[in-house]
Structure 1
Amino acid sequence: MSPPPGANDSKTPPIVSLLAGGVAGGIEAAASYPFEFAKTRVQLRSQKGVPTPKNPFIVVSQVYRSEGLRALYKGCGALVVGSIAKDGVRFLFFDAIKNSFADPVTGTTSPLRNLLGGMTAGVVASITAVTPTERIKTALIDDARTEKRFRGGFHATKVIWQEGGILGLYRGFAGTTLKQASATAFRMGTYNILKDFETVRDIPQNTATNFANGSVAGVVTTLCTQPFDVIKTRSQSAHGASTMEAVKSVWLDYGLKGFWRGTTMRLGRTVFSGGILFTSYEAVAAILNPMFAVVKEKLPIDG
């Protein structure tokens, strides 16, 4: 039996995983940021008795009318930078783990190993990139609706560092890591489970298939990990809070249902962004793989 396309004879080199993941992460973050902005606004503490709309388009339109277009992209730079690093690291580690455990004939990996690979990649991404950039992004969004003391991403980073040092930038680390580990496990695991299923059954891998698989992965991820996202957002507000303080504040404000606050808005983003992320990754990898294959052939290195 000859290996199908995507089997282990055509493993993605680590440098391609890193570069393609970084490019895809930056594109996805920039394209879907208004949804992320709306979701974060809803999860942060609001005034008692003042209803918060659940429709992301209503939140976006209200902010646009009252604060202008620039307000909708407050914190976007931090998220884009963080997403480039985060997704570069996530795809690098996930592909390395997937390649190590893939079936030598089919190139596929078991569902459990897909999930474990995603979980490992999520933890590494949280430590190296996600927590500090998410902290800055969330603080900027929170500050813009209250005190307005941050002039931008660099200024926010400087102030947070002066007030809390490295621990200030890593505020909400536990919640972020739990979210990243679970989200990456479900997102990348689900996507690759679907992709492996289609590979074995000779279903063509094209832009439409990649986008659909990424969107399904986004839905699964959101529904399974929303409580971690809410806790992370509360922990990383402008003044910050411990993980336990964040859990307590959500419970006191909204009860159990509060841990799924912003689900509709996050779904709007993850369905869209999941499709963009994986479609962009596959497209960039398809361009880079032949280039690095040629470079590898010309290098005078054995193996």
Structure 2
Amino acid sequence: MVSGANDSQTPAIVSLAAGGVAGGIEAFTSYPLEFAKTRVQLRSQKGIPTPRNPFLVVTQVYKTEGVRALYKGCGALVVGSIGKDGVRFLFFDQIKQAFADPETGTLSPLRNLAAGMTAGVVASIAAVTPSERIKTALIDDARTERRFRSGLHATSVIWKEHGIMGLYRGFAGTTLKQASATAFRMGTYNILKDFETKRNIEQNTLTNFANGSVAGVVTTLCTQPFDVIKTRSQSAHGASTVEAIKSVLLDYGIRGFWKGTTMRLGRTVFSGGILFTSYEAAVKVIHPLYSGLTHTVRAEAS
């Protein structure tokens, strides 16, 4: 299972709530690195080199634009992450319960990846694509035209100019990224957990953080091209998936599809540890509360 302390009987509402809490915490705490990665992946002016060091990007933006600029688009990402991680933990837990071995309660590595991929597609449709579109447009707009005053204003402008399809710009790239990223992140994490459980390795905060960090590294290296394409598609003015791919090849060649890898690695190692550790902790708090509330309601009803 995803959760260390809980078992296969984790209620769906607990998975949803704990995933949402974990997603919000992870998005907010790691946002400056996400900001730096997105800035690097967007098209830059000719002749102006782009720093590879995420801390250098953050420092430069802080000096020239202030600390508020580093959190431009953060609200959209936090809201999207609450929905995204709530949905993907919910679906992943439910899929795992449906396909788990009845005797051991575990899944094969292939089924782990398939469960994660399915959860990623659902999350992309339900929350990720529109929230990522707004976040990326805000970051891009802040360095160029500065048309958008806030996340709500950006949503309103994009809706008026392009309709709902404008909010789902980059859907193909985002869905490919989410499906593969969730498959690798959730799959790797659970493969590690199953391996440790069979060998009676204690599941504590340190173990959860380490497993989440390893899952983050695997995820980043395997899915970076999709992330670059998604970012290019979701710039302030938007672009089709084909146009995004062409622009990356034109600017940097094949190596451009791994643009921002170092920055994303820094974030995913950090955020992967935070995400799963927060999820495990949230389940430990929410599950007893939910069980107690359910028991009280049933007692009163009887």
Is the TM-score greater than 0.5? yes
- For 1:28, the equivalent position in structure 2 comes to 26
Alignment size in residue pairs: 297
1:159 aligns with 2:157: yes
Three-state SS of the structure 2 residue aligned to 1:193 is: helix
Decide whether the 8 Å contact of 1:7 with 1:108 is kept in 2: no
Say whether residues 1:132 and 2:95 are aligned partners: no
Within the alignment, does 1:51 sit opposite 2:46 as a pair?
no
Note if contact 1:191-1:213 (Cα within 8 Å) is conserved in structure 2. yes
After the TM superposition, which of the residue ranges 189-198 and 19-28 deviates more from structure 2?
A: 189-198
Match of 1:69 in 2: 67
- Determine the C-alpha separation between the residues in 2 that align with 1:14 and 1:132: 24
Report the equivalent of 2:207.
209
How do residues 1-303 of structure 1 correspond to structure 2 at under 5 angstroms? 7-8=7-8, 11-300=9-298
Q: Tell me how far 1:105 sits from its aligned partner.
A: 3.0
Residue 104 of structure 1 aligns to a residue whose secondary structure is: coil
CA contact (8 A) 1:7 1:105 kept: no
For the residues of structure 2 that align with 1:287 and 1:78, how far apart are their CA atoms? Answer: 26
Select between 222-231 and 47-56 the one with higher mean Cα deviation: 47-56
Q: CA deviation at 1:223?
A: 0.1
- Aligned to 2:235, what secondary structure does the other structure show? coil
Distance 1:7 1:103, change over 3 A: farther
Q: Distance in 1 between matches of 2:92 and 2:204?
A: 21
Unaligned runs of 5+ in 1: none
The CA RMSD measured in Å over matched residues stands at: 1.5
Question: Gaps (5+ residues) in structure 2?
Answer: none
Structure 1 CA distance for aligned equivalents of residues 104 and 35 of structure 2: 41
Aligned partners of 2:75 and 2:151 also within 8 Å: yes
Q: Deviations over 1:241-290 (max 9, x none)?
A: 00000000000000000000000000010000000000000000011122
Q: Is the 8 A contact 2:209 2:274 kept in 1?
A: yes
> Aligned partners of 2:290 and 2:175: how far apart in 1?
33
Q: TM-score, normalised by structure 1?
A: 0.95
Q: How does the TM-score come out when normalised to structure 2?
A: 0.96
- 8 Å contact kept, 2:6–2:283: no
For residue 47 of structure 1, give the secondary structure of its aligned residue in structure 2.
coil
Deviations 1:61-96 (A, max 9, x none): 000001100100000000000000000000000000
Displacement of 1:110 in angstroms is 1.1
The aligned amino acid for 2:170 is G
| Deviations 1:18-68, CA, capped at 9 Å, x for gaps | 000000000000000000000000000001121111000000000000110
* One-letter identity of the residue aligned with 2:104: T
Which deviates further from its counterpart, 194-203 or 268-277? 194-203
- Secondary structure in structure 1 of the residue aligned to 2:180: helix
- Does the 8 Å contact 2:37/2:260 carry over to 1? yes
TM-fit CA distance, 1:292 = 2.2
AA in 2 matched with 1:128: A
Is residue 7–residue 104 contact of structure 1 (8 Å, CA) maintained in 2? Answer: no
Deviation at 1:120, TM superposition (A): 0.4
The aligned amino acid for 1:133 is S
**Aligned residues: percent identity?**
79
Residue 297 of structure 1 and its aligned partner are, at CA, apart by 3.7
Q: Which amino acid aligns with 1:197?
A: F
